[in-house]
Structure formats: C-alpha cells, structure tokens
Structure 1
C-alpha cells in the first residue's frame, strides 16, 4: 500500500516536477535574504510577497523592457545585412574552412549574394524548416513562461511556510540518518545556493561586460548580442561560444577600418571570457565545502544529464555523496 501510495503521489507531482524543483531552487537561493528580512521584524507572508515582487522585477520586468529593444535591433541588423550584401561583397576564402559549418556558411553567403541582400528571398528555400523551428521555439517559450510562473508560486509558498518545512525536513533526515544526514541536508542546500549565485551571477556579469564593450566600440545590436551572450553563459556548454560574439564584432570593426576599436574588442572579449574562470569558482566555492573540480564536474555533468535544472541537481547529488563518503571515512572501523 505504501508503494502504491508513493507511485500515485509521484504520478500526481510529475507534471509539476520542473516547477517544484525550480521553485525550491529559487527559495533556497533567496533563503538568506528571507531570514534577514524576518530577523528585521517583517512577517513571513509580507516577506514572501516582497520576494515575489523582487523576482518579478528581476525576471519579468527586464524581459518586458528587452522585448522592444531586441525587436528594433534585430530589424536594424537585418537591414545592415541586406545593405552589406546588396553591394555584392566578395566571399572570404576562409569561410569554407570553418570546421563543421564552413560549407553551410559559404552556401548562405552565396544565397544572400544571389538575392542581392534580401534576407527573406535567401531564406525562402528553408521557409518550411524555419516555420517548424519557429513553432517549436514559440511552444518552448510558452511552456517556459508557464513553468516560470508555477515556479514563482511554489517559491512563494516555500517562503511563507519555509521555517516549518525546514524543521520537519530536518527532523525527518535526522531520524533517518542522524548527524550525517543533517550534514548532507546542509551540503545540499549549500550546493544549490552556491551554484545559483555562481552560474547566474557569472552569466549576468559576463553579459553586462559584453554589452558595455560592444556599446563603447559602437557595434550595432549591442543589447541583442549581450542577451545572446547571457543565454550562452547560463547554458554553460555554450559559454565558450562567446568568442563568436566578440570575435565577430572585432572582425566587423576591422572590416570598417576601425583598427583601434577592433583591437579593444579583442582585448575586452578575452577579459569577458576569462571572467567565467575566475568569478564562477569563487562564487560557487563560498557556500559549499567540496573540492572545486568535483563541483565543476557536477555542474557540467548535471547539465548534460538533466538539462538546465541539472546545473543545480548535479552538484547537489555530488555534495551529498561527498558528505556521506567523508562520514563513512571518518567513522571508527567495525
């Protein structure tokens, strides 16, 4: 009966698993701020409402502000591409030698030349593929918005009843495994919190620096490119692709005869890419007592295994396993 009951509960919660996990991650990340506000005399419900408002300001408001900016910059970028290819520029010989995608890039360049820069005409043969891709992207975006709203609701509920939930969860794990289980619970919370600060904080820092450098150099579409850089940095796997953004911007500047700004863009881009190697380990290492190589392995391995939420699940599982291993190693033999 217990097994059947657990299976039924899991079946009910399965559609909301991502929202619950992400909501719990948000609540854990914001827990120190929540405790600080409650310690200053703010009630749990008011604290939860203020944190929800803060989440909306941090997540939703920038999206609303960015939407028209991205639209305008995308339109300006398309016009720049059309004007550039309307002048029938000669295709660089190195494009065909780009690994994996060189042939496709060369074909796209030739297609734009034949269409005299008309992007719509050049993409007409791939219209069906693009339409399917746009529909898939729109569906994924809609699902993401719904999941985000549910996650914020879950995080708000955790913030309201957080203290009682922490006490009950701590009581359960101590009853199951004693002090070792309690230490594992603290390690799991520390891992989630540290990765939240490390991944999101580093991505925001890289995106802000990238936009600043692009804007100073006068590269068109700086905000759009910075937004793309933010997504690449958060994804971890795409973080090394940041070089395509600042490298492409530098190439464009050199092509415009702006050697000074092109050199600045190269130096600034190297700085942006190196921030990931310095800031992220420092932020992650502040809240979790685990070897840094193991933590980074958990971040990347978790992302590959479970997707975005794996960024938090991977280090958490490794942190709990590490604590249990340490407890077993230090326990008296026999």
Structure 2
C-alpha cells in the first residue's frame, strides 16, 4: 500500500487490497466510531452553537466568496476569507451587539416596572373611568392589578422576580463574546479551506450513501442557503429598517419592537403584526400622524421584501407553505434554540423536497422509475 502524505487531497489515497475484517470486527469498529463521535460532540457541546453558526454563514456566503475568488484568485487563501469575515463582523455582529445593548436596557426597564408593580401594585389609570363600562373595568383592575396581593393571586411566579447580579451579567457577556469569536474563526477557516472540506464531505457521503446521498446533501445545502438568505438576512434587514423607523417615530422600546419585527418577518404576515403593534402604541399615545407614517413605511418595506427581494434570495426549491414555515420556525427554536431558526426550516425544506421527489412531483434522487400501474400524470 502507498503511504498517504499529510498534504494529499481527500480521495487521492485508496487501499489496493480488500478489507478482510470479520463481521464482528466491523460491527465493533462501527460501535467504537459511534462512541468516539458522541464523546467528541460532548466535548465540544459548549461550542456547538458557534460552530453551527459558522457553518451556516459559510454555506450562505460561499457563492459570493467563490465569485470574488474568480475575480482575484490570489486572494482566496487569506484576503477574501478575512474580508468576508470582517464583513460579517461589521454588518451583522456589531449591529446585533448594539441592538442587544438597547434590548437589555429596555428589558431592565420592563423588569424594574414589573418589580415595582409587584411591590406596590398598578393603580387604576384615569382614562379607564371614561371608557364604556368603565366602572366594571375599574373594579376588575382594582381586584386584579391594583395591589401586590392581587398581583400575587394573578401570578404565583411574580414573587420570583429578581435582578441579575453584575458578575452574572459580565459572565454572560464574556461567554457570548467567546462564542462570537469562535464563530468568526470557524467562518474564516471554512471560507479558506471550503473547497477541500466540501470535497471530503462529498467523498464521505458518496461512500456511505451513494450518488443519491450526494444529491440529497446538495439539496440540504441549498435549503440552508435559501433559509439563511430568505429568512435571516431579509428579516434582519426589515428589523433594522423598521427599528430605525420606530425610533424616529418615537415608539417606546423601539429596539425590542425592531427585534420582534425581524423575528416575525420569517413568518408570512408576521412583520405586519409587529408594525401594527408599533402603530397602535403610537396611536394610544396620541401620535396619529406618526402611527400612519409607520404603517405606510412598514407596508412599503414588507411589500418590497416579500414580493421582490425574498423570492430572489430564497429561490423556488426551498419555498414552504405557510403552515410548514410556522411549524418549522417555532419547532426549530423550541428544539435547537436560536440556531433552530435556520435548522428548522432547512430540515423541513429538505423533507418536503424528498417527498416531492418520491411522489414524482419533482426530479431528484428519490424519484423512482416509471411504474405502469401508476398511470399517466394528472392533467393540470
């Protein structure tokens, strides 16, 4: 056998003799590999979110990185990976950090208000008496919210409200900074060595599952890329634009509403609900003109994003019906955390593609050969 060299590309070394291991030895080897894999995942468990986001961003940015590398091939070893990593830092990480600071400030204000309400109760506002059935509403408010005892009856968990200590906040910030640093490092090395990594993965997938497995893996990458481009990037843009609009219009807690708009924009008509909440807050504060302005500007942003920008980014292969988008996003976040915002829709998109192939509605590796018993396709 030829001894492999450490610089050989994946797939350049193959054994020239068959494997004479017994069935028991092969089974033992598979068990050992599974145990080693579980041990490795357990060892890296704290950094898996950073690695996952690095992979997701690398998959999403890879076409742009390749286009830049074709224009200047000498820069693909260092310059282009560093440039795209810096781009992610400037466009996503720093704005998200600024939004996180604003959200933390708003959250502290809300927490302080809740703590004060728990300690003193919430007095009945003056305008309640002028509303229809105001006396009944005032009586309900007095029994439910006006005293600490009433709030305790409303929620037994109210007594557990507490403020995070400064050391805990600093620890959380340091942990997030560490994860972001590893995410950026992962992104840089994947962009630099992405061709070699992708080639190795294709070889491993082909050996394990054949050509059908390679095509399914390619579709999974397209689903991840379409999900990131169509949901995350477009949602981030909508959240930033509307967050700025909320701030200029004077909406209370504009940062929180901007984050809410970005999250809900992944769901059809979700951003409309967030814009409606902001306009309702402005209307309740007596700023009718600002409320109308937010509604008009939000309608334009959502219409352009949903009908012109998102279809170009997401492509036709990964579009999902409304119900599946909603279930995929909520289930993904519940199961995987924030990264489930990408993993959930990507998994459901892959499953939908495989199902369409299996039933013959889409060309792909799982589309079986023609069966005479099935008959011709249904007319449209």
**CA deviation after TM superposition for structure 1 residue 69, in Å:** 6.3
Q: Partner of 2:33 in structure 1?
A: 5
C-alpha separation in 1, matches of 2:163 and 2:105: 21
C-alpha separation in 2, matches of 1:280 and 1:308: 24
The 8 Å contact of residues 243 and 273 in structure 1, kept in 2 or not, is answered as no
Superposition map of 1:1-334 within 5 A: 1-14=29-42, 15=45, 16-39=47-70, 40-41=72-73, 42-63=75-96, 65=98, 89-91=126-128, 110=146, 129-131=161-163, 142-219=174-251, 222-223=254-255, 225-230=257-262, 233=265, 242-243=274-275, 245-252=277-284, 255-256=285-286, 258-270=287-299, 278=307, 282-283=311-312, 285-286=314-315, 289-290=317-318, 292-293=320-321, 296=325, 298-321=328-351, 322-323=353-354, 325=358, 326-331=364-369
**CA deviation after TM superposition for structure 1 residue 193, in Å:** 0.8
Q: Partner of 1:121 in structure 2?
A: none
SS at match of 1:194: helix
Decide whether aligned partners of structure 1 residues 24 and 73 sit closer, same or farther in structure 2, where only a CA change above 3 A counts.
closer
Counting matched residue pairs gives 309
Bigger drift between 54-63 and 192-201 goes to: 54-63
SS at match of 2:191: helix
C-alpha separation in 2, matches of 1:200 and 1:29: 11
Q: Partner of 1:115 in structure 2?
A: none
The 8 Å contact of residues 280 and 291 in structure 2, kept in 1 or not, is answered as no
C-alpha separation in 2, matches of 1:292 and 1:190: 14
Instruction: Please give the per-residue CA displacement for 1:95-130, whole angstroms capped at 9, x wherever unaligned.
Output: x9xxxxxx899966x479xxxxxxxxxxxx968513
The 8 Å contact of residues 261 and 275 in structure 2, kept in 1 or not, is answered as no
Instruction: Please give the per-residue CA displacement for 1:166-197, whole angstroms capped at 9, x wherever unaligned.
Output: 11111222333333222212111111111111
C-alpha separation in 2, matches of 1:222 and 1:194: 29
**CA deviation after TM superposition for structure 1 residue 293, in Å:** 1.8
RMSD, matched Cα: 4.7
Instruction: Please give the per-residue CA displacement for 1:190-209, whole angstroms capped at 9, x wherever unaligned.
Output: 11111111122222232233
Structure with more helix by fraction: 1
The 8 Å contact of residues 27 and 159 in structure 1, kept in 2 or not, is answered as yes
C-alpha separation in 2, matches of 1:19 and 1:175: 29
SS at match of 1:307: helix
The 8 Å contact of residues 251 and 281 in structure 2, kept in 1 or not, is answered as yes
Q: TM-score, normalised by structure 1?
A: 0.70
SS at match of 1:330: coil
The 8 Å contact of residues 212 and 366 in structure 2, kept in 1 or not, is answered as no
The 8 Å contact of residues 227 and 346 in structure 2, kept in 1 or not, is answered as no
**CA deviation after TM superposition for structure 1 residue 284, in Å:** 5.7
Bigger drift between 182-191 and 143-152 goes to: 143-152
